[in-house]
């Protein structure tokens, strides 16, 4: 980004030095060299300048110039029409100074957020890390990493800078986001810009505007419990204020979310919390954008047989009632249930990409729907479970039998059960339960199953009871 000063009169110099530094033409950090602007939209450009002056902005893809007058508080905003995907271009801003943004691409911009599994990079440890790093030369993928920060009040700027995807930049960036972008970019043949605002160990409350949490008595009560924990930050809204709010005028295509592990202890309110977060973000960005998230993976959480994590996964699935949302199941990608960070980030990103490509971009022929519980009916001494999104049938790997099933009678005592596949249904039974009334699949903290759709996507964990 180049900034140029012009010769000015003595009167102009006096006026210039009479202003505070904020009176100079300035852009927020999210605008810079190598950035990606959302294609085919009226892209919001904003910043600061001398009150009363006029800002002129031109994209090199057009001869048209867009103008805005700086308000009394020193802020300005305008809409710059963007073409279809392409570039590189320059964006020139002019008043008493000139700022030139260079190597700007037009494409798809996605916000990626959550805790450590979203933050996790190749340097942290992924499958085939060095090979993936060495092959990460993708100049049409761009990264913006929002630096960690917290605040009690919404901020108008954050810290970070855009970078071109290369082995050096990919190795420290979110792996899930990178693999998502790689599939998206290759399929759409369009530039992809990723904005990563994530922080390991953080609960969802800190990513939600405080007023949305405090407006719900249940969420407010659970948020108060978080304050007794040792991690920081834990106050509702602190990361939203510092890492999300500064981005909200930006035009984005959608959001990816990988979080939940730090809310296992407060799972009962999680679906309402996520509903509030999605509502909050969509209102702030002034767009009903798609919101795709990852269901947390199996992990012991200190008590493998407990069900707190299973219930949080259930709460995550309930978030699918919110329009334009989608959930990726990753229970089959775990190589160690004692590690909360599964190393296979490639397939997580791929599944998110297939969901976005299918739902957002109209690409056909991709498997992206995960079979899930629909209904159950009694059948002699067994229960028949009907699944949705399993029209082509179910399967297990060669030589395996379905596992991770439990069944219970009226006594509500669950015991291990056997299951057999019949088309898109499962018939579940246990020798010692002659009148079963409830069935569960992978419904423990570390439950790992092995039933898939014929397309190879895992069946989501479920239970038929509400005990």
Q: Break the chain into its structural domains and give their ranges.
A: 2-105, 107-359, 372-463
Could you report the average pLDDT of every consecutive run of 10 residues in the chain (467 residues)?
A: 46 36 85 99 98 98 98 98 99 96 99 98 98 99 98 98 99 99 99 98 96 93 72 84 99 99 92 98 99 98 96 98 99 97 99 99 98 97 98 95 98 98 98 97 98 98 98
- What per-residue confidence (pLDDT) applies to 2? 66
Q: Which residue has the tokens 């960005």?
A: 285
- 252 CB-near residues (< 8 Å, 6+ apart): 38, 109, 110, 111, 195, 285, 287, 289
> pTM higher than 0.85, yes or no?
yes
Question: How is domain 107-359 classified at the CATH fold level?
Answer: Rossmann fold (3.40.50)
pLDDT of residue 12: 35
Record: fold of 2-105: Immunoglobulin-like (2.60.40)
Tell me what pLDDT residue 228 has: 54
Provide the 10 A C-beta neighbour count for residue 182.
22
C-alpha 58/C-alpha 305 separation (Å) is 60
pLDDT, position 227: 61
**Are 105 and 88 contacting, i.e. CB atoms less than 8 angstroms apart?**
yes
């Amino acid at each position: 980004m180049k900034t140029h000063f012009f010769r000015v009169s003595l009167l102009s110099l006096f006026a210039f030095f009479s202003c505070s530094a904020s009176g100079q033409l300035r852009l927020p950090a999210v605008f810079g060299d190598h950035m990606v602007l959302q294609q085919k939209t009226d892209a919001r450009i904003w910043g600061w300048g001398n009150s009363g002056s006029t800002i002129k902005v031109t994209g090199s893809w057009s001869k048209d110039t867009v103008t805005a007058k700086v308000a009394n508080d020193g802020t300005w905003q305008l809409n710059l029409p963007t073409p279809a995907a392409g570039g590189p271009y320059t964006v020139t801003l002019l008043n008493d100074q000139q700022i030139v943004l260079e190597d700007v691409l037009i494409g798809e911009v996605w916000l990626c957020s959550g805790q450590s599994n979203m933050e996790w990079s190749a340097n942290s440890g992924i499958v085939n890390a060095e090979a993936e790093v060495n092959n990460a030369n993708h100049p049409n993928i761009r990264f913006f990493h929002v630096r960690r920060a917290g605040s009690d009040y919404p901020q108008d700027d954050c810290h970070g800078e855009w970078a071109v995807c290369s082995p050096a930049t990919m190795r420290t960036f979110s792996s899930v986001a990178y693999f998502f972008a790689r599939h998206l970019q290759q399929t759409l043949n369009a530039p992809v810009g990723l904005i990563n605002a994530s922080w390991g160990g953080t609960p969802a409350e800190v990513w939600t505007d405080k007023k949305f949490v405090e407006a719900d008595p249940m969420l407010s009560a659970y948020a108060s419990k978080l304050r007794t924990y040792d991690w920081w930050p834990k106050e509702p809204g602190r990361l939203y204020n510092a890492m999300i709010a500064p981005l909200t005028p930006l035009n984005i295509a959608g959001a990816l979310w990988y979080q939940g592990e730090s809310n296992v202890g407060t799972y009962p309110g999680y679906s309402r919390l996520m509903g509030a977060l999605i509502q909050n973000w969509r209102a702030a960005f002034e767009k009903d954008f798609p919101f795709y998230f990852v269901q947390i993976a199996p992990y012991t959480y200190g008590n493998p047989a407990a069900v707190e994590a299973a219930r949080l996964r259930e709460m995550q699935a309930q978030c699918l009632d919110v329009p334009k949302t989608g959930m990726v199941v990753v229970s089959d990608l775990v190589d160690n249930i004692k590690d909360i960070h599964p190393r296979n980030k490639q397939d997580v990103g791929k599944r998110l990409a297939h969901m976005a490509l299918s739902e957002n971009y109209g690409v056909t022929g991709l498997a992206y729907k995960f079979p899930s519980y629909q209904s159950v009916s009694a059948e002699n001494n067994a229960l028949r479970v009907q699944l949705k999104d399993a029209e082509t049938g179910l399967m297990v790997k060669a030589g395996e039998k379905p596992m991770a099933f439990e069944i219970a009678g009226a006594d509500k005592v669950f015991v291990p059960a056997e299951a057999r596949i019949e088309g898109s249904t499962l018939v579940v039974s246990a020798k010692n339960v002659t009148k079963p009334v409830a069935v569960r699949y992978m419904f423990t903290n570390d439950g790992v199953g092995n039933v898939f759709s014929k397309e190879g996507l895992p069946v989501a964990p479920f239970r038929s009871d509400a005990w």
